[in-house]
Amino acid sequence: MKSKSFLTYYFGLWIILFGLFAYWQFNDPDPEIWVSLYGVAMIFCYLGIRKIYPKIPLTLLTLLCLIGAVYFYPGEIGSWISQEVEQKDLSMKTPQMEEARETFGLLIIAIVLSPALYHSWKTKK
């Protein structure tokens, strides 16, 4: 019997988490973007479980997520966190809160897919 690697469990966990993230985006002002983005991240995690690492698409998605995170990066992290804590729910009160959340969503996708990106560039295809 073959033992499953750490990455199998890692990507499996992130499929579930990205599915939850996509579900929570249905009440967002722009759900078509975020549900699709988390759906694509789920697909790449599934491919990671299968040990399929498409180099160009993974590179493009990771770069676009990083560029988007830099673009949406909030001016003041501390004030955003204090607003979130004071609010005590996940509703969006200001556009700045939404942009801060989008920043960290993009960063999460880029970080989670980085092991797959590493493997895609490591293999000589």
Confidence check: pLDDT of 81 > 50:
yes
The token duo for 79 is 């004030």
Radius of gyration of the chain from Cα atoms?
A: 16
Mean pLDDT of the chain: 86
Confidence check: pLDDT of 74 > 90:
no
Can you tell me the distance from the alpha carbon of 33 to that of 39, in angstroms, rounded to the nearest whole number? Answer: 10
The count of other CB atoms within 10 Å of the CB of residue 37 is 22
pTM summary value: 0.83
Q: Which residue has the tokens 């990671």?
A: 48
The count of other CB atoms within 10 Å of the CB of residue 84 is 15
The token duo for 113 is 């897919």
Q: Which of 70-74, 83-87, 98-102, 103-107 has the highest mean pLDDT?
A: 103-107
Pick from 61, 10, 13: which is nearest to 36 by CA? 61
Segment 7-55, tens digit of pLDDT: 999 999 999 999 999 998 888 778 899 999 999 999 999 999 999 999 9
Average confidence (pLDDT) over 74-87? 66
Counting residues of the chain whose pLDDT is more than 90, the rounded percentage is: 55
